[in-house]
Homo-oligomer: A and B are copies of this chain.
Amino acid sequence: MNDARTTVDELKKLMDDFVVARDWRQFHDPKNLSASIAIEAAELMEHFQWVHSDAVLTVRDDAAQMAEIREEVADILAYLLSFATAMRIDLADALRAKMLKNEAKYPVDRFYGTFKPRM
């Protein structure tokens, strides 16, 4: 199982099987899950809390920290998948639709290398 051959549905199922086996869907309502995503996102941020922008990629060379970061990323993804299941959201569709909007909002010629549009 890895990103090249794993579909989103396979990841959703992995997560939902875990939740259903424990009868935890009762806790996994969208209010709690949105808070859970935010909580795990904050734990991920903690790894960069005091790191200067220039030093931020050096974190990749720290194997112990990368192991923790990988877990935080997995936690965010787990709750995001669970949220999508609870709310019946197709993630691939949602991302594609949003990126089309972003393409229109940020045309390459005006936003190349900048967030502030060229005139």
- Interface on A for B, CB 8 Å cutoff? 1-12, 14-15, 18, 21-24, 26-27, 29-32, 34-39, 41-54, 56-57, 59-60, 66, 69-71, 73-78, 80, 83-84, 87-99, 101-103, 106, 108, 111-113, 115
Contact = CB atoms under 8 A, between A and B. Distances in A.
B9 A7 contact: no
Contact of A8 (B11, B36, B97): B11
A35 B45 contact: yes
Contacts of A94: 70-71, 73-74, 77
A26 B108 CA distance: 15
Contacts of A34: 41, 44-45, 47-48
8 contacts: A1-B96, A18-B99, A30-B59, A71-B94, A73-B80, A74-B94, A74-B97, A77-B95
Nearest to A47: B34
A23 to B, nearest CB: 4
Contact of A73 (B1, B49, B91): B91
B51 A92 contact: no
